[in-house]
Amino acid sequence: MTQEAWWASPSLWRKSAAWITGGSFVMLIFLTFDTMSYIQAGGKQVPGYSIINQRVDYQFDEAQNRYLPVIGPEEPLFGKMLTEEEAAALVSKGKLNTQAKNCMACHTLLGNGAYYAPDLTKSWLDPSWGSKEVREQQMIDFLMNPQDRLHNGLGRRMPNLGITEEEARATVAFLKWMSAINTLGFPHNFKAIDQSDAPAQN
Ligand code: HEC
């Protein structure tokens, strides 16, 4: 009887299969934890919720050749500094509102959703809110009564979704927080509202 070639032995293939399955499993666990460190609030790409206490800008980064969020000085939303817990509660309420009212039926959030209306990822930074001084109130007014106005020349109107002032404020907090997420340059070439401080008067 001729000797079987080493690579044709069933036991070799059985052992290889067991090692490869085991190795892949360990790799998968590692990648899961690694991904979590990027996508969790307070992680490498997603800021903690109290970021709504600060200025969020979006500037071109020469080294990475893409637009990236830039966190600036203290600039509390609605003029009120919030603790991490208060900010988390407000942002979470805003997120729940976007789910309850199904904004994704028309909009995209972080690129997910429908293409009828503008992407909301950087809506906080949209120059059509006018200026950074009036933006918060403009956003609340728009969310509560969007049917009255053509906001950014898209030619489509958003219907009134019965959003209360409290819900609108929470939604604005959610939108501000979302604009600070590092989306690796998405949406591409978005030009943010000018937020530089007025030059000192003298
Ligand atoms: C039936 C479709 C529809 C739904 C649902 C909808 N929107 Fe809109 N939304 C629009 C349209 C259309 C516009 C563009 C209006 C304009 O330019 O005048 C718009 C514009 C906006 C803008 C301004 C965007 C910008 O940066 O210029 C914001 C903010 C916004 N919507 C938030 C929301 C939120 C939050 C929800 C869910 C609570 C929501 N929308 C649900 C259709 C919709």
pLDDT at 198: 64
pLDDT at 201: 54
Q: Is residue 93 part of a domain?
A: yes
Q: Is residue 153 part of a domain?
A: yes
Q: What is the pLDDT of residues 93-143, one digit of tens each?
A: 999 999 999 999 999 999 999 999 999 999 999 999 999 999 999 999 999
Q: Is residue 39 part of a domain?
A: no
- Estimate to the nearest angstrom the gap between the alpha carbon of 181 and the chain centroid: 5
* Ligand 1 center–CA 14 separation, angstroms: 57
Q: Which residues line ligand 1 (CB under 6 A)?
A: 97-98, 101-103, 105-107, 116-118, 120, 123, 126, 128, 143, 150-152, 154, 156-159, 161, 171
Q: Give the atom of ligand 1 at the shortest distance from the alpha carbon of 151.
A: 18
Q: Is 47 helix (H, G, I), strand (E, B) or coil?
A: coil
pLDDT at 79: 95
Q: What is the pLDDT of residues 49-88, one digit of tens each?
A: 999 999 999 999 999 999 999 999 999 999 999 999 999 9
Q: How confident is the model at residue 202 (pLDDT cuts 50, 70, 90)?
A: very low
The continuous run of DSSP H or E covering 59 comes out as strand 54-61
Q: Is residue 9 part of a domain?
A: no
Owning domain of residue 77: 49-179
pLDDT at 199: 61
Q: What is the pLDDT of residues 147-167, one digit of tens each?
A: 988 888 788 999 999 999 999
- CATH number (domain holding residue 167): 1.10.760.10
**What average pLDDT does range 11-37 have in this prediction?**
97
Mean pLDDT of the chain, nearest integer? 93
Q: Is residue 7 part of a domain?
A: no
pLDDT at 111: 92
pLDDT at 48: 97
> Domain total for the chain?
1
H helices present in 40-180, as ranges: 84-100, 135-144, 165-179
Q: Is residue 106 part of a domain?
A: yes
End-to-end CA distance of the chain: 102
Q: Is residue 15 part of a domain?
A: no
User: DSSP letter at 12?
Assistant: H
| Phi and psi, residue 37, nearest 5° | -65, -20
